[in-house]
A and B are shown apart, each in its own frame.
Chain A
Amino acid sequence: KQEVTQIPAALSVPEGENLVLNCSFTDSAIYNLQWFRQDPGKGLTSLLLIQSSQREQTSGRLNASLDKSSGRSTLYIAASQPGDSATYLCAVVLHSSGSARQLTFGSGTQLTVLP
């Protein structure tokens, strides 16, 4: 069974720092990997999607990388801001999930950016 692990569970950084969030998965036969942001009491906002054939994706200050062979993805946030404070979730879809396109989520990293 696919397991997705996110380390650290919580992270606190001062404003302006660059930071990296980690995601690892046990089954490398993934269809894609998606990073989400969740604010307290809110829904999930899609940040970046990486197809299995891709190595990285960028959006603004965010850069996500994917290394299928090692079962790892990282989310790099440049020049962090207090507004980046949220829980960040990574999720994978396995090829074996077929039409279900089931997302298997990690438990998240709770990020706090201090002013």
Chain B
Amino acid sequence: NAGVTQTPKFQVLKTGQSMTLQCAQDMNHEYMSWYRQDPGMGLRLIHYSVGAGITDQGEVPNGYNVSRSTTEDFPLRLLSAAPSQTSVYFCASSNRDSYNEQFFGPGTRLTVL
């Protein structure tokens, strides 16, 4: 199993550009989520999904969109990038069979100029 994979590893954007951060898992987990990690702020939940076709907002959803068309994939879209979105983004997944132990991907480091 590859576990949770994320692409790209690094990305530099200009203010106003859009992009999609990719996340995939091969563990058949029903639950997937996106966090951002910022110095002094820790990790904060952006959006999450409890299954294909079902998504909901977390603590800091503004400026981000998600969709879940398959169990495996959970992309995060930045609609119009802002410098405040400079951060490290992590995708995570879990399921009830493993008592909701959450597994994280390697992260995407995003810089918005």
Interface of A with B (CB < 8 Å)?
31-32, 34, 36, 41-46, 49, 51, 91, 93, 99-103, 105-107
B48: nearest chain-A partner, CB-CB: A100
Q: Does B107 contact A (CB under 8 A)?
A: yes
Residue of B33, B90, B103 near A46 (CB, 8 A) is B103
Q: How far is the CA of A44 from the CA of B33 in the complex (A)?
A: 14
Q: Does B31 contact A (CB under 8 A)?
A: yes
B90 touches A43 (CB 8 A): yes
A43 touches B31 (CB 8 A): no
Q: Number of residue pairs across A and B with beta carbons under 8 Å?
A: 55
Q: Does B16 contact A (CB under 8 A)?
A: no
Residue of A34, A41, A42, A107 near B102 (CB, 8 A) is A34
Number of B residues, CB within 8 Å of A: 24
B58 touches A46 (CB 8 A): no
Q: For B33, B56, B104, B106, which residue has the most chain A Cβ atoms within 10 angstroms?
A: B104
A42 touches B50 (CB 8 A): no
A43 touches B101 (CB 8 A): no
A102 touches B58 (CB 8 A): yes
B100 touches A43 (CB 8 A): no
Secondary structure of the B contact surface, majority rule? strand
Sample of 15 A–B contacts (CB below 8 Å): A32-B99, A32-B101, A36-B104, A43-B105, A43-B106, A44-B92, A44-B104, A46-B104, A49-B100, A100-B45, A100-B58, A101-B31, A103-B43, A103-B102, A107-B42
Q: Does B59 contact A (CB under 8 A)?
A: yes
Q: Does B94 contact A (CB under 8 A)?
A: yes
B56 touches A34 (CB 8 A): no
Which residues of B, 28-86, contact A by the 8 Å Cβ criterion?
31, 33, 35, 42-43, 45, 48, 50, 56, 58-59
In the complex, what's the smallest C-beta–C-beta distance from A92 to chain B, in angstroms?
12
Q: How far is the CA of A53 from the CA of B17 in the complex (A)?
A: 47
Residue of A32, A41, A45, A107 near B100 (CB, 8 A) is A32
In the complex, what's the smallest C-beta–C-beta distance from A90 to chain B, in angstroms?
11
